[in-house]
Structure 1
Amino acid sequence: MRTTDNNGGYFKINDENIHKANLSRIANKSLLKLQENNADLLVFPHSLGIYKDDVEKSTIFSMDEETITTYNLMGFVGCNDSQLTITSRFSKEDSKDYFLHYMLQKVFSINLLDFDQKSNNENIWDFLIYLFPYFLKKAYTQGMFKAYKRNEYNNANIKGTININRHIQKNIPFRGNIAYSTREHSYDNDVTQLIRHTIEYIKVHPFGNGVLAKDNDTREIVQKFVFVTDSTYNKSQRNKIVAKNLKAFSHPYYFEYKLLQKICLQILRREKLSYGKENNKIYGLLFDGAWLWEEYLNTILKEKFLHPENKTGKHKHYLFEGNKQSIYPDFISKETPIIVGDAKYIPLDKHVSYHENSERAVSIYYKTLAYMYRFNSTNGFLIYPTNNQDNRYEELKIQDTEGVLKKIGLAIPQNQEDFINFSSSIKDNELNLRMIL
Structure 2
Amino acid sequence: MRTTDNNGGKSIDKFDNLNIADLSVIANRNLLDLQKENPDLLIFPHSFGKFRDDVEKPHIFSLDDENLTTYNLMGFIGRNSTQLTISSRFAKDENNDYFLHYMLQKVFSINLLKFDQTPNKENIWDFLLYLFPYYLKKAYSQGIYKAYKKEEYNDSNVKGTIDVKRHIISNIPFTGKIAYTTREHSYNNNLTQLIRHTIEHIKMHPFGSGVLTNDSEVRDIVSKFIFVTDKTFNSNSRQRIITSNLKPITHPYFTEYSALQKICLKILRHEKITFGNNKDKVYGLLFDGAWLWEEYLNTILKENFIHPENKTGKHRQYLFENNKQSIYPDFISKEEPKSVGDAKYIPLDRQQSYSENSEKATSIYYKTIAYMYRFSSNSGFLIFPKQDTSFYDTYRIKETEGILKKIGLAIPQTTETFKEYMKTMNINEQELRQNLMTDKTPNA
Matched, 1:194 2:194: yes
Give the Å deviation of 1:53.
1.7
1:33-182 to 2 correspondences below 5 Å: 33-46=33-46, 50-119=50-119, 121-151=121-151, 160=160, 167=165, 171=169, 181-182=181-182
1:246-284 per-position Cα deviation (integer Å, ceiling 9, x unaligned): 221111111111111111111111211232443333322
- CA contact 1:3–1:11 (8 Å) conserved in 2: no
- CA contact 2:167–2:178 (8 Å) conserved in 1: no
Secondary structure, in 3 states, of the residue corresponding to 2:223? helix
1:19-418 to 2 correspondences below 5 Å: 19-46=19-46, 50-119=50-119, 121-151=121-151, 160=160, 167=165, 171=169, 181-350=181-350, 352-355=352-355, 357-387=357-387, 389-418=388-417
Secondary structure, in 3 states, of the residue corresponding to 2:370? helix
The aligned counterpart of 2:420 is 421
The aligned counterpart of 2:430 is 431
In structure 2, give the amino acid aligned to 1:126: D
In structure 2, give the amino acid aligned to 1:417: E
Distance 2:242 2:212 in 1: 21
Q: What TM-score, normalized to structure 2?
A: 0.89
Secondary structure, in 3 states, of the residue corresponding to 1:283? strand
Q: Choose 340-349 or 400-409, whichever is displaced more.
A: 400-409
Distance 1:147 1:435 in 2: 50
1:164-212 per-position Cα deviation (integer Å, ceiling 9, x unaligned): 8xx3998499766987654322212111111111111112212323432
Secondary structure, in 3 states, of the residue corresponding to 2:303? coil
Distance 1:200 1:290 in 2: 32
Q: Choose 397-406 or 195-204, whichever is displaced more.
A: 397-406
Q: Kindly tell me: are residues 193 and 436 of structure 1, through their superposed partners in 2, closer, same or farther at Cα, counting changes over 3 Å?
A: same
Distance 2:253 2:54 in 1: 27
- CA contact 2:112–2:210 (8 Å) conserved in 1: no
In structure 2, give the amino acid aligned to 1:412: I
Distance 2:222 2:157 in 1: 34
Q: Kindly tell me: are residues 25 and 157 of structure 1, through their superposed partners in 2, closer, same or farther at Cα, counting changes over 3 Å?
A: farther
Distance 1:159 1:13 in 2: 73
In structure 2, give the amino acid aligned to 1:97: D
Give the Å deviation of 1:120.
5.7
Give the Å deviation of 1:292.
0.9
Q: Which structure 2 segments of 5+ residues have no match? A: 437-444
- CA contact 1:32–1:48 (8 Å) conserved in 2: no
Secondary structure, in 3 states, of the residue corresponding to 1:352? coil
Distance 2:337 2:20 in 1: 54
Distance 1:243 1:5 in 2: 37
Q: Kindly tell me: are residues 50 and 206 of structure 1, through their superposed partners in 2, closer, same or farther at Cα, counting changes over 3 Å?
A: closer
Distance 1:169 1:26 in 2: 61
1:336-376 per-position Cα deviation (integer Å, ceiling 9, x unaligned): 22221111100111262211633223212110111122222
- CA contact 2:171–2:178 (8 Å) conserved in 1: no
- Provide the aligned C-alpha RMSD in A: 2.7
Alignment identity in percent?
64
Give the Å deviation of 1:230.
2.2
Q: Kindly tell me: are residues 346 and 220 of structure 1, through their superposed partners in 2, closer, same or farther at Cα, counting changes over 3 Å?
A: same
Distance 2:280 2:212 in 1: 34
- CA contact 2:139–2:260 (8 Å) conserved in 1: yes
Secondary structure, in 3 states, of the residue corresponding to 2:56? helix
Q: Kindly tell me: are residues 359 and 216 of structure 1, through their superposed partners in 2, closer, same or farther at Cα, counting changes over 3 Å?
A: closer
- CA contact 1:248–1:258 (8 Å) conserved in 2: yes
Distance 2:343 2:371 in 1: 13
- CA contact 1:396–1:406 (8 Å) conserved in 2: yes
1:59-102 per-position Cα deviation (integer Å, ceiling 9, x unaligned): 22222344321111111222333222111100144231111111
- CA contact 1:98–1:414 (8 Å) conserved in 2: no
- CA contact 1:163–1:180 (8 Å) conserved in 2: yes
- CA contact 1:203–1:209 (8 Å) conserved in 2: yes
1:316-348 per-position Cα deviation (integer Å, ceiling 9, x unaligned): 222122221121111112222222111110011
In structure 2, give the amino acid aligned to 1:360: K
Tell me the matched-pair count: 434
Secondary structure, in 3 states, of the residue corresponding to 1:199? helix
